[in-house]
Amino acid sequence: MAINSIGFRYHCIGKRNKPPCFVDMIPWEDSYTNVLSKFLLRIDLEYFQKLMYRGMFCSKYLDSMNQLLKLLLTADQVRKICALLRIITHINLIRILYSACPLKENTQLDLSAQIYAKLIADKCLIGSNFKQYGVIKVALPITHLTEIVSHLYKEHIFYSFRLSYGGILTDRFTQLVWRSSTSIGIGIIRKRNLVYLALLFYPKGNIRGQYEINVLKKKISWKKMIQI
């Protein structure tokens, strides 16, 4: 079923409903890249990305996109795409607050992150072989998935901008906003009532001696961000 950008635009603007629920999450075995690619073949990618960005502040876009996706993909794939895009969008909004450019998704990083997330879920893997990448890994209850980026961001209260140093308590926050990082990959696996999330960043952050130029003070508030 092909849907052109005009039809998509009309569909998204025409309804006002509650935002979709991300709590009743789904099997996450297929990689994010494979799932999303099936959808992007059918739709105007640039316009879709604009709607996702605006959807952070306007529920009608998120809900309308959810309805449209149901026409093209399975319910499991719909939920996975919406959840992962919301996570990546949230990360990029935080980066903008700290004068860092938005991260671009990378296909290879997506696939590697998905493999890593599965290893964490299946084998309780703690260490990482991705020495060339910045790594953030999290395991949390499925009901807390929508709060994951906010949870990582809370580490900023422990970071010292005066000393340009954070340490182990702030490693995840500093990687999120690290200015030199340009690409991101995301992998996610559900196992029973837990979700295992793996994020890979390139170039990697948290490099000693480079915090001052890569972790800047917040330049804009959330209130002003919403008004942009």
Average pLDDT for the chain: 73
**pLDDT band at residue 203 under the 50/70/90 scheme:** very high
Q: What DSSP string describes 153-196?
A: HGGGGG-BTTTTB--TTTHHHHHHH-TT--EEEEEEEEETTEEE
Q: Where in the chain is the domain with CATH 3.40.33.10?
A: 104-227
Calculate mean pLDDT across residues 53-81: 55
Residue-level pLDDT at 198 = 93
CATH of domain 104-227: 3.40.33.10
Place of tokens 């997506």: 110
Residue 213 near residue 133, CB atoms below 8 Å: no
Q: How far apart are CA 114 and CA 189, in angstroms?
A: 8
Instruction: State whether the Cα torsion 219-221-225-228 is positive or negative.
Output: negative
**Whole-structure pTM value:** 0.68
Q: Which residue has the higher pLDDT, 122 or 17?
A: 122
Confidence of residue 142 (pLDDT cuts 50, 70, 90): confident
